[in-house]
Each structure stands twice: as C-alpha cells, then as structure tokens.
Amino acid sequence: MSVFDEVAITGHEQIIYGYDKVSGLKAIIAIHSTALGPALGGTRFFPYQSESEALEDVLRLSKGMTYKAAAAGLDLGGGKAVIIGDPRVDKSERLFRAYGRIVDSLGGRYITAEDVGTTTIDMDLVRRETRWALGHSMAEGGAGDPSPITARGLYAATRAVCQMLWGDPEVAGRRFAVQGVGKVGSAFVQLLVEARAEVIISDSQEPAISAAVETYGVKSVPSDEILSVDCDILSPCALGAGINEETIPTLNCQAIVGSANNQLATDEDAERLMERNILYAPDFVVNAGGLINVHDELRGYSRIRTLQSVDSIFDATMKILETAKTDGTSPNQAAIKVAEERIYEIGDLRRFRRSGDDEN
Ligand code: NAD
C-alpha cells in the first residue's frame, strides 16, 4: 500500500521522511492533526524490521496522540516520530542533532519528546538544534522523567473508577493486580499501598519483582497468572495488547485501569469487556499525565500547575465513564466521542482569524 493510500484512511495531515547518510538517521515523522494546536508526541527509537512496519507504527501512534491530547483538554494536536535502528548501538550525537534540524524545519508544527528507546539525555541533544523538543533533562531546564506524574494521573483515574463502581473514590481495602512494576507501575503501587489498598504484582524481570516486594511489602504472582488474579481492579502497566479475545474470558476483575498504551488488542475487545461487565477506563485518558507534564514545559515548567492538571484526570475519566453509561456505549467509544467533539468545537475556533499568526 502506498503512503497516500494509508493516509487516505487514517486522515493524517503530513508525513516527513528524514535521512542523514553520515549518522545513518532514518526517521519518519507523522503529523496526524494540528486542529487543536501543534502536534506533540515522542520519538520512538526501535529496530523495525521494515520501513512499512515503521510507517504503520508511526501512523497508529500519532493518531492516538490526537485523541489523548483532545481528551485531556490540551491545546495540542497529535504527532509522533520513529527512528529506525537499535537504540543500544545506533545512537550518536550527530544522529540526534541531524534529527533535531529536521524537527526544527517544521517550525513548531511538530514538537517531539522522549519515548520508548529515547531518553531525556537524547532530547538534550535534539534540543541543541531546535526548541521544539521537550522531555529534556532537569539540568537543561526540562521536567525530567514523567513516570511518577503518569502514575499520579493513573491514581486519579482509578479513584474515578472506584467512584463509578462503588460510589466512593477511596481505594482502601480494594484488591489490585498490577501487571508490570517498572517506572510507572512501581510508583502506582506506592500510591496504592500508602492509601491502604491490597496489591498483588507481577513482572517479567526478577529484579523488578524483588524491588517491589521488598519496598512495598506486596505479594507477587508469576507473569502468566496476573491477568486472572481475583481482584477488584486490574492495572496493566507493562506492554500493550494484553487484553484480547484470549485473555478476556480469563479475567477475574471488575475494572481495568492501567498506564500501558494500547491495552486492547482490537476495538472489538472493548465490546467483549462490556459483555463481561468489566469496566474499562480507556488507556489514552488514564495515562495522559506524561503528556500533560511535557506540555507544561512549553509554558515554562510549573510543577504545581502540572500536578493540578494531572489531578483533573479524575474529572476527565468520570466524564467519559458517565458519557458511556448514558449512551450505552463502551468507555473507549465514549472517549473517542468526547475527543472528537472537542476537536470539532475548539478546532473550529481557528476560523476566527487572530492578529499575527495562529500558533498556540
Ligand atoms: P518500564 O519499561 O519502566 O516498565 C515496564 C515493566 O513491565 C518492566 O518492569 C518490564 O519488565 C515489565 N513487563 C514487560 N512485559 C511484562 C509482562 N508480560 N508481564 C509483566 N511485566 C512485564 O515502562 P514504564 O515507563 O513504566 O511504562 C509502562 C507502560 O506505560 C508502557 O506501556 C508505556 O508505554 C506506558 N506509559 C508510560 C508513560 C510514562 O510516563 N513512563 C506515560 C504514558 C504511558
């Protein structure tokens, strides 16, 4: 399939291919929408097997960013970038600075940040060539690692789910199964334990398990058992696509709220969860804390403002769960509806021409 055939389906505005022969940079930047503001999304550094695999990933991820920003009420559009290569061996100063120059040439239509395979240190290099790079290190004036903020947003969403299910936002006494105790999962477990919830964890890496068990006094189960643990809330904080046709019949929870991106393998899985009466809080609403954190860097980072904004994920989640209840649809569909309504309503403001440019 050609690129134009692809974007005719996905509705993207612009795809940019960047290449630097000397450093071996091969980057694809996808701008899905700038209706609400500049397209913000991280740069994924990954050893894709083919260009078409990289293109498919960047198209899917950038569209997701449009919905994530809109559902969070941010004046941002959706974009994402991928760099084809092995982050362990292919990174260099030249590569990131060449990439920074390509990002800069877009004049702020696309703003990048860290993602899987890139770090705050890499963003410091990109930022030497463009101001349109966020998520850089605290030493360079950035907000640093967003994971604890993402965990705080996840906690706010969890309280909304508790409110919806049991008429009380408190997590005390509720039983949680947390899949993956990396940067976000472990920070989330800490918040749950401090609030006197019961927590069971799993991770595919032994050091992560022992760190969580020793630090927080939680129980662990093998990775292949966590999804079927008898619990009130299951929290996927590892990789995507874990909730699928095969695993849904084995779930033993009343709700799913987790940080992992793209938790549902397909859109039909949202319906399957409804049939099983399991409440699913859409991942792109729940895990918006990281995006809110980098977005604030655009305004001159304020921790207090960021935390206030992240705590409003409680309200955003409530709105979506209530819309789903009223409409009789899945929360996933409701979240897309809320995001699309905002893109239409606020994006339409652009027809009132302002003095000067129309950048946010
Ligand atoms: P991380 O790599 O620090 O942690 C992921 C953990 O999951 C690791 O400890 C890993 O060993 C474990 N894991 C992998 N496969 C597993 C499996 N099958 N079963 C159990 N454990 C498994 O990543 P993170 O930054 O904590 O992010 C977690 C998820 O949240 C990812 O999907 C990420 O895309 C998403 N997310 C993160 C942020 C953020 O701010 N870090 C923001 C938005 C979304």
Angle between helices 93-105 and 120-127 (to 10 degrees): 60
* Domain extent at residue 269: 147-335
Q: 78 CB less than 6 Å from ligand 1?
A: no
How far apart (Å, rounded) are the C-alpha atoms in residues 64 and 278? 23
- In the set 26, 63, 80, 91, the catalytic residue is 80
Domain boundary among 140, 175, 194: 140
* pLDDT tens figures, 196-220: 999 999 999 999 999 999 999 999 9
Place of tokens 């290569």: 85
Annotation says 319 is catalytic = no
Q: Measured from the CA of 145, which atom of ligand 1 is nearest?
A: 40
For a ligand 1 pocket test, name from 43, 44, 134, 184 the mutation site with the most ligand atoms within 8 angstroms of its C-beta: 184
Tally of domains in the chain: 2
The last residue of one of the domains, among 86, 112, 140, is 140
Which residue from 149, 150, 225, 284 has its CB within 8 A of the most atoms of ligand 1, so it is best to mutate? 150
Which residues does 266 contact at the CB level (< 8 Å), separation at least 6?
Answer: 244, 245
Of 305, 64, 296, 260, nearest to 151 by C-alpha is: 260
CA of 262 relative to ligand 1 center, distance in Å: 12
Structural domain includes residue 342: no
Residues 195 and 133 placed together within one structural domain of the fold: no
Asked if residue 138 has pLDDT above 90, the reply is no
What does the alpha-carbon distance between residue 189 and residue 304 come to, in Å, rounded to a whole number? 23
Do 91 and 175 lie in one domain? The reply is no
| Same-domain status, 45 and 191 | no
- pLDDT computed for residue 42 by the predictor: 95
Tell me whether residue 111 is in a domain. yes
- β-pairing, 175-179 with 233-236? parallel
pLDDT at 358: 55
- Domain CATH for 152: 3.40.50.720
CB 18 within 8 A of CB 99: yes
* pLDDT tens digit sequence for 292-351: 999 999 989 999 999 999 999 999 999 999 999 999 999 999 999 999 999 999 999 988
- What pTM value is reported for the model? 0.92
In the prediction, which pLDDT does 350 show? 84
Q: Is residue 357 part of a domain?
A: no
Based on the domain organization, do 217 and 284 belong to the same domain?
yes
Angstrom distance (rounded) from CA 299 to CA 149: 17
For residue 189, what are the CA distances in angstroms to 103, 137, 156, 268, 272?
37, 25, 13, 30, 28
- 355 part of a folded domain: no
**Chosen domain end from 108, 140, 172:** 140
Q: What is the pLDDT of residues 217-237, one digit of tens each?
A: 999 999 999 999 999 999 999
Does 46 reside within a domain?
yes
The pLDDT, as a whole number, for residue 360 is 52
